[in-house]
């Protein structure tokens, strides 16, 4: 198959591109390297079936050229940060909403039959009902969450009007190798891991009792591949199916690294969700998804990767 991976130099996208290339597919990576990194795909540069195009999903003409003859598009490109979206909602809308519309338009123009896209659990907001199910009413708390919801709506419309099979995967808290810890808006696990490895205390925004449903990146990659290979369309939660508090996470990472530092607590960040837990039964029923990697095993692999210089 010939697959397009937008955001393919990023954390999730590069792991996905690697898996597709390993499975023998032709892979076209599109990334403007604004948050992705060349280092993430350097090892794929010599692969004769992998092509890298430096460009943005905001460039419709580029997407149409790249998508000609494609069998499917994995759309991972995004401004993937709640704090960054709060600081710059216009940029978030341009990349996440217009960019997704461009990807869907390119699929329509080029006759690409399926688009599997990254969405987010942020759409659920602070609804107190647990676990989160796809049929729940959206309660977005940030421009990022609004942008992801808009992308899902565009996906359904393009599916209904133009016959493109669209799948939007609501990622919960993804972690693993190649996740960037250096950004001001980096996710919690790479921040905790790298600070501990540097002998510094982890920084917790809030009281640390907020919970997250973490999922290892290899499970997310597999969910994308299974969704593309199936016949389902719509919106699906992709998560580990259990939650852990940030205080528990910090303690677990201290045990794994052998480095014990009491967390430093700072004020909560605007737009952050308090608690998170997914019902993942719909994805299991639709395309056989179940997480295979335990949280501790994934954390150990992540710590090893960062400890070996992966940052």
Helix 217-229 vs helix 11-22: crossing angle, to nearest 10: 60
Q: Which domains does the chain have, with CATH numbers?
A: 2-176+215-241+277-291 (3.40.50.720)
The answer on pLDDT for 309 being more than 90 is no
Query: Each residue of 100-138: pLDDT tens digit?
Result: 999 999 999 999 999 999 999 999 998 889 999 999 999
Helices (H), ranges, the chain: 11-22, 38-41, 60-67, 82-87, 89-92, 99-110, 143-162, 188-197, 217-229, 246-257, 281-287, 295-307
What pLDDT does 273 receive? 85
Lowest-pLDDT range of 153-157, 251-255, 265-269? 265-269
Determine contact, residues 296/149, Cβ cutoff 8 Å.
Answer: no
The answer on pLDDT for 186 being more than 90 is no
pLDDT above 90 coverage of the chain, percent: 92
Kind and range of the H or E run holding 165: strand 165-171
For residue 311, what pLDDT band results from cuts at 50, 70 and 90? low
The answer on pLDDT for 182 being more than 90 is no
pLDDT above 70 coverage of the chain, percent: 99
- For 154, the token pair is 């565009």
Query: What number of other Cβ atoms are within 10 A of residue 223's Cβ?
Result: 27
3-class secondary-structure state, position 126: coil
The answer on pLDDT for 184 being more than 80 is no
What residues act catalytically?
Answer: 144
Query: Each residue of 193-226: pLDDT tens digit?
Result: 999 999 999 999 999 999 999 999 999 999 999 9
In this prediction, residues 150-169 reach a mean pLDDT of 98
Determine contact, residues 220/18, Cβ cutoff 8 Å.
Answer: no
Under DSSP, the state recorded for 34 is: S
């Amino acid at each position: 198959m010939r697959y397009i991976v937008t955001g393919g130099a990023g954390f999730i996208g590069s792991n996905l591109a690697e898996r597709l290339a390993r499975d023998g597919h032709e892979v076209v990576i599109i990334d403007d390297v604004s948050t992705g990194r060349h280092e993430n795909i350097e090892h794929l540069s010599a692969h004769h079936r992998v092509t890298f195009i430096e460009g943005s999903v905001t460039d419709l003409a580029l997407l149409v050229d790249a998508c000609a003859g494609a069998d499917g598009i994995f759309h991972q490109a995004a401004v993937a940060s709640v704090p960054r979206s709060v600081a710059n909602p216009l940029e978030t809308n341009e990349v996440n909403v217009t960019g997704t519309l461009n990807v869907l338009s390119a699929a329509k123009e080029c006759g690409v039959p399926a688009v599997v896209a990254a969405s987010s659990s942020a759409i659920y907001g602070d609804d107190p009902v647990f676990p989160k199910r796809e049929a729940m009413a959206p309660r977005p708390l940030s421009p990022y969450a609004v942008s992801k919801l808009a992308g899902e709506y565009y996906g359904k419309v393009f599916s209904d009007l133009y016959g493109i099979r669209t799948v939007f995967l609501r990622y919960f808290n993804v972690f693993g190798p190649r996740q960037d810890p250096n950004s001001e808006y980096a996710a919690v696990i790479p921040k905790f891991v790298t600070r501990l490895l540097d002998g510094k205390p982890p920084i917790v925004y809030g009281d640390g009792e907020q919970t997250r449903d973490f999922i290892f990146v290899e499970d997310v990659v597999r969910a994308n591949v299974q969704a593309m290979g199936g016949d389902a369309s719509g919106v699906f939660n992709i998560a580990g199916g259990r939650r852990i508090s940030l205080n528990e996470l910090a303690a677990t990472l201290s045990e794994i690294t052998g480095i014990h530092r009491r967390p430093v607590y700072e004020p909560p960040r605007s737009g952050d969700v308090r608690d998170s837990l997914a019902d993942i039964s719909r994805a299991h029923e639709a395309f056989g998804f179940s997480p295979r990697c335990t949280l501790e095993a994934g954390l150990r692999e992540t710590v090893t990767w960062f400890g070996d210089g992966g940052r």
